Amino acid sequence: MSIENAYNIWANQYDTNENRTRDLDKKSTIETLDKYEFENVLELGCGTGKNTNWLLKKANQIIGLDFSQEMLNKAKAKVSDKRVIFKKADLTEIWETENNFADLITCSLTLEHIKNLNHIFNQANLKLRKNGLFFISELHPFKQYSGSKAKYETENGTKELEVYIHHISEYIDDAKNNGLELVEMKEWFDENAKIGLPRLVSFVFKK
């Protein structure tokens, strides 16, 4: 099944099922971005809009892009604010938004489904203003080596989605090759599990 169709099915339970990765991403997003100022935000793989309402506390305008219509429908039901536009778009293609639009791009838990990171950083550079920030929060590659991947429950058992492993150096090198420099990086652990593998890695890059 395609990733798009899998998320169309997952959409109904995405916000309600137990999901430590989803919940830790919300914490990493808020704790990382709280200290930055931003107005125009491009949210990549916005999904059900889990992070959109928090981003709206600071932003003047948000464009959320995602290729799953059902995830977008959930987002539209959750976030009704004229400062937000949700658009159906495949991030592996050219992004149909204005160049130099964003002073912040965010991307949470989406790049594990995208093989070519270079394309993402190339498009991000075009959409960011000078000094704009690109925040990424993803399943940590260590966690992926241990077998973790995006998955949801169905009547016929657990459905695992197709994923790609991106090494930490791949993020940093591809960002650098596209004019983005690393500002901060952090590893995020499950509560009470500081000795275990980090669940998430987050980066902030600057144009």
Ligand X SMILES: C[S@@+](CC[C@H](N)C(=O)[O-])C[C@H]1O[C@@H](n2cnc3c(N)ncnc32)[C@H](O)[C@@H]1O
| Binding characters for ligand X, 84-113, by CB under 6 A (x = yes) | ------xxx---------------xxx--x
Nearest to residue 163, comparing CAs of 173, 176, 150, 147? 150
Task: Confirm or reject binding of residue 151 to ligand X (CB under 6 A).
Answer: no
Complex with ligand X: residue 51 or 131, whichever CB lies closer: 51
Alpha carbon distance, N-terminus to C-terminus of the chain? 36
Task: Confirm or reject binding of residue 166 to ligand X (CB under 6 A).
Answer: no
Complex with ligand X: residue 181 or 198, whichever CB lies closer: 198
DSSP for 88-126, written as a single string: E--TTS---S-TT-EEEEEEES-GGG-S-HHHHHHHHHH
| Binding characters for ligand X, 16-55, by CB under 6 A (x = yes) | ------x--x-------------------xxx--xx----
CB of 124 to ligand X, least distance (A): 14
Residues 6+ positions from 207 with CB-CB distance below 8 Å: 125, 128, 129, 130, 131, 132, 133, 134, 179, 180
How many contiguous H segments (helices) and E segments (strands) does the chain have? Answer: 7, 9
CB of 130 to ligand X, least distance (A): 26
Which residues of this chain interact with ligand X, rule CB under 6 A?
A: 3, 7, 22, 25, 45-47, 50-51, 66-68, 71, 90-92, 108-110, 113-114, 150
